[in-house]
């Protein structure tokens, strides 16, 4: 965790702790990004996911998903936060879930890609 970052959000702390307990390197990288100062955590627009993700892929955003753009692919997106419009766009074709839920379903982090 960043020395300057001192998160007080109990859900954020719980998520970071869960990620750090996992053996898969991908979850350690996600925990590292979530442990950054809030303003330096990734914010990804739907349009970025549309451009980067492949059909049927699972991506994780170690920060917040914003609703700008359209998602025409069936993509599973996990993030710590998402705007309501982002969740709506994602759920029209794919599936939105929180990072903790994805880790519980896929502790090995297999076939998951980080988008930041």
pLDDT at 37 over 90: no
User: DSSP letters along 59-110, please?
Assistant: EEEEEEEE--S---S--EEEEEEE-HHHHHHHHHHSEEEEHHHHHHH-TT-T
- Look at the domain 10-114 and name its fold: Ribosomal Protein L15; Chain: K; domain 2 (3.100.10)
pTM of the model: 0.91
pLDDT at 113 over 70: yes
For 19-36, the pLDDT digits (tens) are 999 999 999 999 999 998
For 73-99, the pLDDT digits (tens) are 999 999 999 999 999 999 999 999 999
Give the pLDDT band of residue 39 (cuts 50, 70, 90): confident
């Amino acid at each position: 965790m960043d020395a300057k970052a001192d998160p007080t959000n109990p859900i954020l702390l719980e998520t970071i702790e869960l990620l750090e307990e996992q053996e898969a390197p991908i979850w350690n990288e996600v925990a590292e990004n979530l442990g950054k100062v809030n303003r330096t955590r990734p914010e990804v627009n739907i349009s970025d996911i549309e451009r980067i993700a492949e059909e049927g892929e699972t991506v994780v955003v170690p920060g917040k998903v914003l609703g700008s753009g359209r998602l025409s692919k069936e993509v599973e997106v996990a993030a710590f936060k998402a705007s309501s419009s982002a969740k709506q766009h994602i759920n029209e074709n794919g599936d939105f879930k929180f990072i903790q839920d994805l880790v519980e379903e896929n502790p090995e982090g297999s076939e998951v890609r980080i988008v930041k």
